[in-house]
Structure 1
Amino acid sequence: MDKPLDKSTDNINSNASQTLTNHLLGIKIEYKCKDGFFYEDDQSTEKYATCDRTKGNFIYPEPFGKCVESKTCSQKPPGTETLADSGSLGDSVTGTLGAVFTETFSNDYDSSKTYNNDDIVTYKCKSELDEVFKGTERVGEIKNTCQWDETWSLTDENLKDYECKLNLCDIRQLKEQEANAGTLTLETQTHVSFNENGIFKCPEGQLREDDPTTAEFQVLCESTGNFKLPASWPTCADASDLVIDFSTIR
């Protein structure tokens, strides 16, 4: 029986005895990566050599290779091209690749950084009023992962499925209306999603004169990206001066 291979220089621990006296027919030897290491071909942590009963030697896995801590994606991830990279504007449709993609999407790719397996490059819409969509699904952001086979999880074709769409009303529209809103003050301080409301509120201790059951006034964000502003703004009055018709309250 031949002597088992010593793979210790390849970051592999072997439980095989190195003495011929322990080599029995039918023995199976486990070659396990050291903690935190993986076989470079398939990211497994162990491989086995088996004994050939007829020839009296060991049959080793192919490929056997060595164990490594990580693999590196050396290629630049798709969708991070610039005009200088492509030499042209590329595709003219928002959401497809070429320089137009990077005109619409920002990303956190750092060319000075080494990207190993499981490292992620994230893409977001450049406009703070846009959100990332995949078809009709709002996904927020795109994540592209460096994989063990040294490729990126999302290809050029995959990224074509994403686009940036206007999905918010700019809160600055309402801030500009505060001067017209009388004593109402704007409570909402962030951009508002379509079909949701920006909120104005009466001063403390006051209610709306037109609806004394509430101190709030809501302004709808429409799918055009604009708020549906009222023809006239409601006024506020001290709650003690208002009469509530409880028959109208359900």
Structure 2
Amino acid sequence: MARIGWLPDPHVYPGKQAGPGRRLTSDIVSLFEEYGIERLYINGDLASGHGSFDDSGYEHTPPEYYDRFWKLVDDSGYGAYIVCTPGNHDVPLQHFLASDDRARLRYKEVHDGVTVLMMNTVGPGWVSGSPECGYGWTNGYVPYGDLQWLDDELSAAGDDAKVVYFHHHAWLTPGDPLASAPTDTQSIDQLYWVCRNYRAIHDVLSSYEKVVCPQGHTAQYAAEGSSHVDGVTYLYKKHYADIRPDTAPVTTYAYLDIGRDQCTATTVDHSSGTENTILDVSF
């Protein structure tokens, strides 16, 4: 049984000690020392480029934002056990990738009886009809080559349990108030939160057993849980970075206990320490 961490959307930016990221170091320490995780996977929006624009007028996250993010990570003392993939705010991807060798577009790690995969969902600008913005921050999309890689790695995992981290939702997940909708009634607003090629992604995932997908991105503060669709388990949780003004924080990080035959997922309110089990399933 492996215990692994799940912390999407820290949204760190420099010079804001009371803003997003203010709890990141202590929360990382808590996950490792209080909850005993082996690895921490941060699936997107390491930093937040709000208010920073390139010469073309497109929002981007500059290198100094990542400098602060990695400092907060390394101040925990557990930086060597952390891997990250990008989110919609981690653009241009060149800055994300140049920030540290722990910043990956895709990643694989194998624990005893568990295969962990991380996917990049930051779609190219042509997906939203804005090719001039390069890899833009508004849309999710998993390229065909990455889908092939995902298919190959899930196949290679055999009877292992499989955890696949996404930033944008890989499916219109029932239960998430921002990223769910009845079949074939999805709006453009809902597809902001979900990968544009979600059907192709789900076709790959649902071809295998024991697949659990922690997802990020949705900036919601009320709902968390799990949904089971065609044998795939999709997880959603409250946002980590509380970016609402003048409100008490209700945001969470999480950990998964997973082995060949069972998985539980538990979220922890990072202010009160209150725990909530959002998944308890036997394969």
| TM-score interval, normalised by the smaller of the two chains | under 0.3
Higher relative contact order at CA 8 Å, sep ≥6: structure 1 or structure 2?
2
Question: Larger % of helix: which?
Answer: 2
TM-score, normalised by the number of residues in structure 1: 0.20
User: Who wins on radius of gyration, i.e. which is larger?
Assistant: 1
After TM superposition, the score normalised by the length of structure 2 is: 0.18
